[in-house]
Amino acid sequence: MRLRSRIAWLAVGALVLSALPARAQSPAPTPPYPRFEVTGGYQFLHVPDFNFPFGLNVDGAWNGSKALGLAGEVGWATGSEDDVRLHAWTIGVGPRFNGRPMGGRLWPFAQVLVGMYHLRGEDDSATKFQVQPGGGVNINAGDGWGVVLQGDYRRVFLDEDEDGESGQNQGRFFVGIRLLLD
């Protein structure tokens, strides 16, 4: 009886010890994050002394990690002044810094895009370099999508000899739908 009891205890001990290394080798799963994001929506653009009340914007991002991605966007805005229709086109690319709290529905982000700003009127057009830092929040609304609220500051660099000033400060508000893709 004694021998059987020792063998039983050894078997239980071996079973417990064999399960411990397997448990230590499998870490807790990391929270998922989307590898790609695509966003589209409405934008309102303010330049000094003028508002572009209607605009559209599309952006895409590739996320290399949970916190850092590469974003690119294309935008268009339009408005009228003195019966002249103005169109503003933008294109930019740069890093996007993401905050994705585990289990949270609100994912804040910040980005800095560099690119081109093109303004076109009836008989005139100009293309200038721009830097656009901004940020916002993605509100996860369901499986694979969310609502984005975003604000940006845009600095358009001008030629002082040609334009009379070295730069222009602009503001942009954006609201849209973001698709979260694996």
Q: What is the pLDDT of residue 31?
A: 47
What are the residue boundaries of the structural domains of the chain, listed by start? 36-181
Quote the pLDDT of residue 14: 62
pLDDT of residue 129: 97
Of 130, 182, 175, 167, the residue nearest 151 (C-alpha): 175
pTM of the model: 0.80
Nearest by Cα to 182 from 32, 30, 66: 32
Name the nearest CA neighbour of 165 among 59, 39, 69, 48: 48
Q: What pLDDT is attached to residue 117? A: 98
Q: DSSP string covering 103-139, please?
A: T-SEEEEEEEEEEEEEEE-SS-EEEEEEEEEEEEEEE
Unique residue bearing structure tokens 């845009």 = 154
Which regions in the chain score pLDDT beneath 70? 1-32
| pLDDT tens-digit series, residues 110-163 | 999 999 999 999 889 999 999 999 999 999 998 889 999 999 999 999 999 988
Would you state the CATH architecture of domain 36-181? Beta Barrel (2.40)
What pLDDT shows up at residue 30? 46
Q: What is the rounded CA–CA span in Å between residue 82 and residue 128?
A: 24
In degrees and rounded to multiples of 5, residue 24 shows phi and psi of -70, -25
Task: Please report the pLDDT score of residue 33 as a whole number.
Answer: 84
